[in-house]
């Protein structure tokens, strides 16, 4: 029996919140050949499996042990789930190759996943990486910039 949109959202929420907030990876919720289309460091990539996701989560959780993902908006359909989210945490270990700043960081992103037979089979993510670098003081904010917003 096909999963309902509500089921699909529950899969995405469990997968992402467990990984980001607890460091627990539910491999049973992602297909071994799932395609990751996420952009990292300004470069688009296309990788299979959960390795790239594990790597990015591990990097951020190492840099920000108290990192917390909060989903602010969601859409779920027969095969897609969209989350617009906010992450907060303290930079004690150094983010994106930078030395530790001790700053409380807050940044936004969006993730879209395609779900088939109860597992994530495709993922797209966009993270405000420039906003992180601006908060770290590596890149100056644009003129008249507001505080980072949701």
Partner 1 sequence: MTTETIISREAAVTAVKRWFDDIWTKKDMQAVDAVLAPNFDYVLTFIQTSDREAFKRILETNHVAFENLIYWPEEIIVDGNTAAARWRMHTSKHRATWNNVEATGNEASIPGMTFFYFANGQIAGVKILSDFYSLMQQLDVIT
Nearer to partner 1, 25 or 82 (CB): 82
- Positions 108 through 127 that interact with partner 1 (CB under 8 A): 108-110, 112, 124, 126-127
Residue 43 in tokens:
């470069």
* CA dist., res. 36 & res. 56, Å (int): 12
Residue 32 or 144: the one with the smaller Cβ distance to partner 1 is 144
Q: What span, in angstroms and rounded, lies between the C-alpha atoms of 129 and 133?
A: 7
Are 141 and 52 in contact by the 8 Å Cβ rule? The answer is no
**Judged by CB under 8 A, does residue 149 bind partner 1?**
yes
Site for partner 1 in 9-68 (CB under 8 A): 39, 41-44
Q: Are strands 39-40 and 43-44 parallel, antiparallel or unpaired?
A: antiparallel
Applying CB under 8 A, the residues found at the interface with partner 1 are: 5, 39, 41-44, 73, 75-77, 80, 82, 84, 107-110, 112, 124, 126-131, 133-134, 138-146, 148-150
């Amino acid at each position: 029996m096909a999963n309902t949109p509500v089921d699909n959202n529950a899969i995405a929420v469990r997968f992402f919140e467990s990984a980001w907030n607890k460091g627990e990876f539910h491999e049973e919720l992602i297909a071994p050949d799932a395609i990751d289309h996420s952009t990292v460091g300004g470069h688009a990539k296309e990788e299979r499996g959960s390795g790239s996701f594990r790597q990015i989560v591990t990097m951020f959780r190492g840099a920000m042990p108290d990192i917390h993902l909060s989903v602010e908006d969601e859409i779920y359909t027969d095969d897609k789930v969209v989350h617009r989210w906010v992450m907060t945490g303290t930079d004690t270990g150094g983010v994106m190759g930078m030395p530790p700043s001790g700053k409380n960081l807050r940044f936004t992103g969006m993730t879209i996943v395609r779900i088939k037979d109860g597992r994530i089979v495709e993922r797209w993510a966009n993270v405000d990486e420039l906003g992180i670098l601006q908060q770290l003081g590596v890149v100056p904010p644009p003129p008249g910039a507001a505080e980072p917003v949701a």
